[in-house]
Amino acid sequence: MTRAISLHDVSKSYTRGVRVVDRLTLDIAPGEFLVLLGPSGCGKSTVLRMIAGLEEITEGRLLLDGQHSNDLFPYERNMAMVFQNFALYPNMTTRGNIGFPLRVENRGEDPSVRVDATARMLGIEDLLDRFPSQLSGGERQRVAMGRAIARHPSAFLMDEPLSNLDAKLRNRLRAEISRLTRELGVTTVYVTHDQAEAMSLGDRVAVLRGGVLQQVGTPRSVYALPRNVFVAAFIGTPRINLLRGLVRAPLDGAMTISLGKQFLRLPEPLSLDHQLLRVQQGREVIVGLRSEAVRIAKREDARPGEVVLTGLVEHVEFQGHEVLVHFNTGSRPAFVPDLEAPRPAARPSRRRRREGRSVLGRLRERAGVLRAGRVVVLDDDPTDQDPVPAEGRLPGDMVVRTTPDIDLRYGMQVPLLVDIAHLFVFDQHGERICPAPARLPDLEE
């Protein structure tokens, strides 16, 4: 039997009132594979442990199949957890490790039949009489997964189970996890900081930052329509190009976005999304361009909807099947501090004050919840107390993906064709304004 998991305004606080998870609301359907994705220290493992009952919920409600379950003991929740460090008993063989929870739950029953069936499913029949010290990392992780599968739980909770393995083995086990969970049809919550795992495994992906849910959706929708700069920068390889721009929208001329030494001219007639950018006239914005939105070609080869920039080659990365070219376009980059720093700074808890709040106050609170603090740092912002060190930055300000047969060298000046249809524009706070959000905020909420 699989089950539905619902979190309603769930928060977790430790000492000094610091919230590591802040008012998280998330519904997981029966049989769904949901991935909790975010950088180190964002609270994703804490969420998993609260679902498992290993951490106490400070505020909010956990519902399992619609029943209030905050106070249930872990064994009453009928969930199986797979840890990052395998957590195998060193004095037990593979057979003993897989069968141990079965012997505890059903005293007096022989677990051999279920152990053998689980071993066949995972292809580890020949490892049943070996101890953990005699197994490789991949084999130990299979045994840990087998111990969880053999219990026939209502949900799998996986806390970065592949992070200690090498890249080739991770890819192989990722495919096995996908196959097994699909065959078993059990609700799965999977925690990772690896966006490649999240995009390839999850039915949906929930992106966390600083303990706050930023966006949840299918991998395709989260990639194609990121809600803010953080989501856009965290998902996608290579990372999205983020450039500071200034909107110019004269009444008697074409609308442009200045990028410093160059500018993007928006094609006419303006699309609805681009028309909405008029309200940003004279304001600084953040332009997002994924590497596939820019191509290297001659000016005369520009297609409808493409505009021309010029880039100076600063670095070429040969990847075998493709080449990543770093260009200097004279633009000013914007940086996302949560992704540049090893760990975000702790945030004090915020008390919700409803009495006497203005409409503007409510909108500011909502924006603060979505952003969990500052999302983006502008390169020369005088208020920035922790700028990104220059030695830690990639060369150039724009990365373009191209074919391996292209011949480019350092210092070459190259025309770049930008597909305006794939242009993202974010405001100074990092929220997406183009393409326009599907739902505009309701002032009465």
Dist. CA 218–CA 306, nearest whole Å = 28
pLDDT recorded at residue 221 = 93
Q: Beta partners for 423?
A: none
List the single range of 19-23, 231-235, 252-256, 281-285 with lowest mean pLDDT.
252-256
- Report domain 5-224's class: alpha beta
Give residue-wise pLDDT tens across range 90-111: 999 999 999 998 888 888 788 8
Average pLDDT over residues 112-125: 89
- Supply the angle between the helices 137-149 and 112-122 in degrees, to the nearest 10: 130
Q: How many CB atoms lie within 10 A of CB 29?
A: 14
State the first-to-last Cα distance of the chain, in angstroms, to the nearest integer. Answer: 38
Q: Does 5-224 match 237-336+375-434 in CATH topology?
A: no
pLDDT recorded at residue 386 = 42
- Residue 309 pLDDT grade (very low, low, confident, very high; cuts 50, 70, 90): very high
pLDDT recorded at residue 58 = 94
pLDDT recorded at residue 16 = 74
Fold held by 237-336+375-434: OB fold (Dihydrolipoamide Acetyltransferase, E2P) (2.40.50)
pLDDT recorded at residue 104 = 85
Average pLDDT over residues 4-30: 91
Cβ atoms of residues 205 and 198 within 8 Å: yes
List the single range of 326-330, 393-397, 413-417 with lowest mean pLDDT.
393-397
- pTM for this prediction: 0.83
pLDDT recorded at residue 232 = 94
What's the chain's length in residues? Answer: 445
% of the chain residues with pLDDT over 90: 52
pLDDT recorded at residue 354 = 44
Q: What is the mean pLDDT of the chain?
A: 84
Sequence spans of domains, the chain: 5-224, 237-336+375-434
pLDDT recorded at residue 438 = 67
Average pLDDT over residues 34-51: 94
Unique residue bearing structure tokens 């679902």: 51
Q: Two tokens at 65?
A: 């199949």
- Residues 6 or more apart in contact with residue 269 via CB below 8 angstroms: none
Give residue-wise pLDDT tens across range 328-374: 999 999 888 777 543 434 444 444 444 445 555 555 444 444 445 55
Average pLDDT over residues 115-128: 89
pLDDT recorded at residue 7 = 96
pLDDT recorded at residue 317 = 93
Dist. CA 26–CA 43, nearest whole Å = 14
pLDDT recorded at residue 101 = 86
- Residue 250 pLDDT grade (very low, low, confident, very high; cuts 50, 70, 90): confident
Q: Two tokens at 341?
A: 């720093």
430 has pLDDT over 60: yes
pLDDT recorded at residue 391 = 46
- Residue 399 pLDDT grade (very low, low, confident, very high; cuts 50, 70, 90): very high
Give residue-wise pLDDT tens across range 177-225: 888 888 889 999 999 999 989 999 999 999 999 999 999 999 999 999 9
**Which of 53, 55, 65, 63 lies closest to 21 in space, CA to CA?**
55
Give residue-wise pLDDT tens across range 266-306: 988 888 888 888 888 889 999 999 999 999 999 999 998 89
pLDDT recorded at residue 337 = 78
Dist. CA 6–CA 359, nearest whole Å = 30
**Which of 246, 241, 325, 335 lies closest to 289 in space, CA to CA?**
241
Angular region, 330: left φ>0, alpha ψ -120 to 50, beta rest: left
Average pLDDT over residues 299-314: 92
List the single range of 66-70, 168-172, 369-373 with lowest mean pLDDT.
369-373
